[in-house]
Amino acid sequence: MDSQKNSDIQDAWFGFLQDVVLAKNYDGVYVVDTGRKSPNPMLDEMLPSLLYIKAVAILDLALREFISVRGLKIPRKLGRDSLHTRLKFLNTQSLVVNYVVLKEVKDLRNLVAHQAREKISWGRLETDIGHIEEELIYLGFIGEVPAYEFFAERGADDSNEEISVSFSHVYTWGVMDKADKRLIRGWRFTRKYYDETKLG
């Protein structure tokens, strides 16, 4: 298999797993600031569904790539060009770890994408991420999967020299590799608290 394409799929999947960590911790900076979680029902309904669609898109991309690089030909009798057809075909070649489960994943993705009231829970997302990941590993697209965790901290900003600023905090947050505690993707911003008696 083309090593570059293999790497592209792996990068896409690992980036997706980082997205999931960030999405599940959408209130992470608020928690650092206040010590309390701030759940948002709308985000808890929307985010898992959007991420589910993305996860299945990566699976479909990997199956396309696998079939193309191997020079495999899907018989027309299996149906039109679709994820369903690719799964059926690879299953006939004993290249699908769990066809029944992945077909259910595909069907649920279709419902979420085309039915306005269909929603995915965080729990279902996590479960099916595991099934998709199992197939990506089986086909050789990804190796050892890193464990990611959310990171957020608030620190004092000692660099501020504005007279009107009483104090300021620097917030840093992002995704960390759980093994080596390395920040992989991160952001930073400063919040300033002004002394109104010293303004303008």
- Do 124 and 181 sit in the same domain of this protein? no
The CATH number given to whatever domain includes residue 46 is: 1.20.120
In whole angstroms, give the CA distance from residue 11 to residue 148.
Answer: 14
User: What is the predicted pLDDT for the residue at 22?
Assistant: 97
> Tokens 């690089």 — which residue?
69
> How high is the pLDDT of residue 53?
98
Q: So what's the pLDDT on residue 14?
A: 98
At residue 182, φ and ψ (nearest 5 deg) are -95, 130
155 pLDDT tier (thresholds 50, 70, 90): confident
Do 94 and 174 share a structural domain? no
Residue 113 φ/ψ, nearest 5 degrees: -75, -30
pLDDT digits (tens, 9 = 90+) for 73-123: 999 999 899 999 999 999 999 999 999 999 999 999 999 999 988 999 999
Q: Judge if 176 and 134 occupy the same domain.
A: no
Number of domains in the chain: 2
- Neighbour order of strands in the sheet with 148-156: 148-156, 165-177, 182-194
pLDDT at residue 32, as a whole number? 83
**Residue range(s) defining the domain that contains residue 51:** 3-138
Average pLDDT value for residue range 9-26: 97
The reply to whether the predicted model has a pTM over 0.75 is yes
Q: Maximum Cα–Cα distance for the chain, whole Å?
A: 79
Q: Specify the pLDDT at position 199.
A: 62
Domain membership of residue 143 (yes or no) is no
Enclosing H/E stretch for 29? helix 28-34
State the amino acid at position 170 in one-letter form. Answer: V
Query: Residue range 58-77: average pLDDT?
Result: 95
Strands (DSSP E) contained in the chain are: 148-156, 165-177, 182-194
Average pLDDT on 158-184 reads 82
Decide the pairing of beta strands 165-177 and 182-194. Answer: antiparallel
194 has which bridge partners?
Answer: 165
Tell whether the model's pLDDT for residue 138 goes beyond 90.
yes
21-52: per-residue pLDDT in tens? 999 999 988 888 888 888 999 999 999 999 99
Are residues 97 and 180 part of one domain? no
How far apart CA 184 and CA 69 sit, in angstroms, is 31
Domain final position from 120, 138, 156 = 138
Cβ pair 193, 168 in contact under 8 A: yes
Q: Is the pLDDT of residue 2 over 60?
A: no
